[in-house]
Amino acid sequence: KEKYFHYASLSEIMSAGFRGVDLFFIISGFIITLVVSESALTGFKAAKKFAIRRIFRIFPLYVLLFTTMFLISTYTSIGAHRSFDGSIREFLTNLLLLPRDDLTTYMPVSAWTLTHELMFYALSLFSFISMRLYWAVLVFWTAVCLLSFFVDFKPLGWGMQLSLMNCYFFLGALCAHFRGRIDVNIRKIVACGALSFLILAFAIELGCIQSVILKLYLSIVYAIGFFFLVFTLGDLNWKLGRHFNYLTYLGKISYSMYLVHYPILVILALLIASDDRSRSAMILFIFLSLMSSFVCAGLLYRFVERPGIRVGKILTPAPPG
């Protein structure tokens, strides 16, 4: 964080931003579980349709940004990690988003979350055989991840595959499972409680916690807050969408925004914030980062991400009737 944000107060606030990944995983578990549980199709064809649409949802944009960064890093070393060698093996490891424990070797760095997503998507394929099997596999994966965290249990050296972060997918799946069983008015009350938890968690985060026990406690507080926030998200979405259409648009370009923001940060940090660390330079850096990320995300969504989604749908047409 200090690499880009010089002032302590700003750096502390930005340090909580990585918690967005926790929320992202819970939302993913929520949405994917809803999709697979409501699917009328089962068997190999349904699983194939799901996989193809997920691939064309994620990879076209990722491959474009990764390949661009890889070429730039090969010839200029800009944006490359310390051990970067530009080899074919390095290229393929990144291209296929293979699991690895050194997250700094992902290009862009934020792409490590996509590997977690792909692991969860692979488990979701079991739902097209049986939802009971899906839940059994998901519970087993979550249990092993918890075991790995508390007793340092990593068979086959699988650190990333058994990361505690994977438990958030299970929380999201639980949101989807129980949401329809709870009254709408109760869900609204729960939403207020969720926001209170998140405000508490953010306040603790700004305290620069060092203790491992306190960090674990903070993660639990965030998990509870995010869980209940996602649990009630559907109740608020239609009202927000009617009056704030731009929120819907931000949701559409969020994946593009997520992937493109890091390369933009690297470039602008070199141009603006590398030598001049004055307050005005920091403000300019933040403003240009936000605006550039928003504009680039909009363009990438329109010309890369959305066409990729369309191709996935064309390759997996809905059955007639």
**For the segment 231-279, what is each residue's pLDDT rounded down to a tens digit?**
666 555 445 445 556 667 888 899 999 999 888 888 887 777 566 567 7
Q: d(Cα 319, Cα 321) in Å, to the nearest integer? A: 7
pTM of the model: 0.83
- Tally Cβ neighbours within 10 Å of residue 78: 12
pLDDT of residue 156: 79
Q: d(Cα 232, Cα 157) in Å, to the nearest integer? A: 38
Q: What is the CA radius of gyration of the chain?
A: 21
Residue 5 has pLDDT above 50, yes or no: no
pLDDT of residue 164: 87
pLDDT of residue 32: 93
pLDDT of residue 7: 42
| Conformational region of residue 208, where left means phi above 0, alpha means psi within -120 to 50, and beta covers everything else | left
Residue type, 203: A
Over residues 297-307, the mean pLDDT reads 96
Q: d(Cα 35, Cα 24) in Å, to the nearest integer? A: 16
Share of the chain above pLDDT 70, in %: 71
Please, are residues 194 and 231 in contact by the beta-carbon 8 Å criterion? yes
Residue type, 301: Y
Looking at per-residue confidence, does 248 or 201 come out higher? 248
pLDDT tens readout for residues 116-146: 999 999 999 999 999 999 999 999 999 999 8
Give the number of C-alpha atoms closer than 13 A to the C-alpha of residue 7, restricted to the C-beta side: 11
Over residues 66-72, the mean pLDDT reads 92
In this prediction, residue 88 has a pLDDT band, given cuts at 50, 70 and 90, of very high
pLDDT of residue 229: 67
- Residue by residue, DSSP assigns 118-173 as HHHHHHHGGGGT-HHHHHHHHHHHHHHHHHHHHH---GGG-SSTT-GGGHHHHHHH
Q: What angle do CA 229, 182, 172 make, to 5 degrees?
A: 40
**pLDDT, the chain, mean:** 81
Residue 11 has pLDDT above 90, yes or no: no
pLDDT of residue 179: 73
In this prediction, residue 207 has a pLDDT band, given cuts at 50, 70 and 90, of low
Q: d(Cα 115, Cα 133) in Å, to the nearest integer? A: 22
Residue 218 has pLDDT above 90, yes or no: no
pLDDT tens readout for residues 142-200: 999 989 988 887 887 888 999 988 988 998 898 888 776 666 666 666 666 666 666 66
Q: What angle do CA 104, 106, 109 make, to 5 degrees?
A: 70
Highest-pLDDT range among 54-63, 73-82, 164-173, 240-249: 54-63
